């Protein structure tokens, strides 16, 4: 498990890996990025709601990198701590006990990213 203060490190590591993939296959990397931007832009659902959905899925599938990334993006989109914790509750509903343990990663992300202002 990741410690408080290491969430930003996870995001940096993910970005390094993304850059490596982009060097290897720029067309695929840009296609993924374009899809990501299109899928998360405001539409019938706001970007904030979409990031809360992504955060819930990240918890349910137990992806530490995804939790860090989508916790940060949800906060940047205006999600509150309470909204993020409710999304986590739905993730636990769908993912069971193992997903519940990964709410610990969200707690760490909330602590770390809340200090960033």
- The domains of the chain, with CATH numbers, are 7-15+43-115 (1.20.1290.10)
Q: What is the pLDDT of residues 64-98, one digit of tens each?
A: 999 999 999 999 999 999 999 999 999 999 998 88
Q: How far apart are CA 70 and CA 11, in angstroms?
A: 10
Alpha-helix runs per DSSP H in the chain: 7-24, 26-40, 47-60, 64-76, 81-101, 103-115
Q: Is pTM, for the whole model, over 0.85?
A: yes
Concatenating the DSSP letter of every residue in 91-111 gives: HHHHHHHHHHHTHHHHHHHHH
Instruction: Kindly tell me if the per-residue pLDDT of 4 is higher than 80.
Output: no
Question: What integer pLDDT is reported at residue 66 of this predicted model?
Answer: 95
Q: Give me the phi and psi of 109, to 5 degrees please.
A: -65, -40
């Amino acid at each position: 498990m990741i410690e408080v203060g290491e969430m930003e490190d996870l995001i940096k590591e993910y970005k390094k890996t993304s850059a490596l993939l982009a060097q290897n296959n720029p067309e695929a990397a840009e296609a993924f990025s374009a899809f990501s931007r299109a899928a998360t832009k405001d539409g019938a659902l706001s970007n904030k709601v979409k990031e809360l959905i992504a955060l819930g899925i990240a918890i349910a599938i137990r992806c530490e990198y995804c939790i860090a990334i989508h916790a940060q993006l949800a906060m940047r989109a205006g999600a509150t701590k309470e909204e993020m914790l409710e999304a986590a509750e739905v993730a636990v509903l769908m993912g069971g006990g193992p997903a519940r343990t990964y709410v610990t990663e969200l707690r760490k992300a909330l602590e770390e990213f809340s200090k960033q202002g």
